[in-house]
Structure 1
């Protein structure tokens, strides 16, 4: 299978920034995420559109656009150049295994560097995100972190008092291991 025209890591960054923009409560924060996303994509000759009705990020070459910024179907030479990435929902079983392996490696690094209490908290978040959303740690946005902290963690993680007292820090360590900032509710 040939390499995609838009590298996978750029697609993931664009999807993450779109989720963060979608979930942002502040309009300035939303605009900043979208500006960052658009700048990253423009470096690769792509543009994005969030199809809100089914929560899908559509990425396509900027040479498909006319002077007004609309897609001109006569410029589409190969529809396979366009990319659609679901921003929510579940995936296939093979996707789950891939995501679980990725998230587990991040959990292991947190535990190895910061101890078992942070490791247990990181594992709880990885279980929540993988099982409920089939998503990698770095794709989580504010709503998922909030749901984890307010609903899942108190009822399903069975934390000790020490683990409960450091869960915010544990999430920061986990997101740091993934190379991204932790979404706002955990700060």
Structure 2
């Protein structure tokens, strides 16, 4: 199966069956599910991955070779729940990502430390409430997208604000009232132009 790691493709094309960002997210969710110590948390990550891939009529499985590999493949490859590889004309539509290797783990730790440091700077500059909100954003960007906060898109920040923050951060009334200002402070401390996440 062909592996495509292009980061410049925003939409699926003939050469890239899935957007690169979707592949990255699926890989990250898979790793988080494998690392989770709580079964419910692991299930939530796998369900989120399934929802993500369903939008493109894809599925995921883990191939257990010497090193585990994440395999993403089209729904149409399945017959009665089994992939019929001999009947598939274009195997290049399958995508593989290795799941083991120290380099990847080190990269994610670096991202998490970077985001945590930024949240600490927000707290030092603007107080505990904004710091707690910044740490919630750090958790979200590190765990769900494996991205530095400065690279967040408007859509990702909106997802954090509207979905993740109220459901997963257990914010106090004070935190909820301050969230918009907190997000502004995060990007201010990062010295980065904030993405547009509010609806006009």
- TM-score if structure 2 supplies the norm length? 0.51
Tell me, yes or no, if the aligned pair for 1:108 and 1:119 is still in contact at 8 Å.
Answer: yes
| Counterpart among 38, 44, 52 of residue 11 in structure 2 | 52
1:99-118 superposed matches below 5 A: 99-118=111-130
Q: Supply the distance in 2 between the matched residues of 1:157 and 1:86 (Cα, whole angstroms).
A: 24
Q: Supply the distance in 2 between the matched residues of 1:117 and 1:186 (Cα, whole angstroms).
A: 21
1:33-48 superposed matches below 5 A: none
Q: Supply the distance in 2 between the matched residues of 1:51 and 1:107 (Cα, whole angstroms).
A: 29
Instruction: Tell me by how many angstroms 1:93 deviates.
Output: 2.1
Tell me, yes or no, if the aligned pair for 1:138 and 1:175 is still in contact at 8 Å.
Answer: yes
| Aligned-residue RMSD, C-alpha | 2.3
1:122-161 superposed matches below 5 A: 122-161=134-173
Q: 1:112–1:163: structure 2 CA closer, same or farther, 3 Å change rule?
A: same
Q: Does 1:180 align with 2:192?
A: yes
Tell me, yes or no, if the aligned pair for 1:129 and 1:135 is still in contact at 8 Å.
Answer: yes
Q: Supply the distance in 1 between the matched residues of 2:116 and 2:198 (Cα, whole angstroms).
A: 20
Instruction: Tell me by how many angstroms 1:118 deviates.
Output: 0.3
Tell me, yes or no, if the aligned pair for 1:171 and 1:186 is still in contact at 8 Å.
Answer: no
- TM-score if structure 1 supplies the norm length? 0.54
SS at match of 1:50: coil
Name 2:174's counterpart in structure 1.
162
Deviations 1:114-160 (A, max 9, x none): 00000000000010110011000011001111111111001111111
Q: How many residues in Structure 1 have an aligned counterpart in Structure 2?
A: 112
Tell me, which stretches of 5 or more residues in structure 2 are unaligned?
A: 1-6, 13-17, 29-103
SS at match of 1:184: coil
Instruction: Tell me by how many angstroms 1:55 deviates.
Output: 3.0
Instruction: Tell me by how many angstroms 1:181 deviates.
Output: 1.7
SS at match of 1:104: helix
Q: Supply the distance in 1 between the matched residues of 2:10 and 2:194 (Cα, whole angstroms).
A: 25
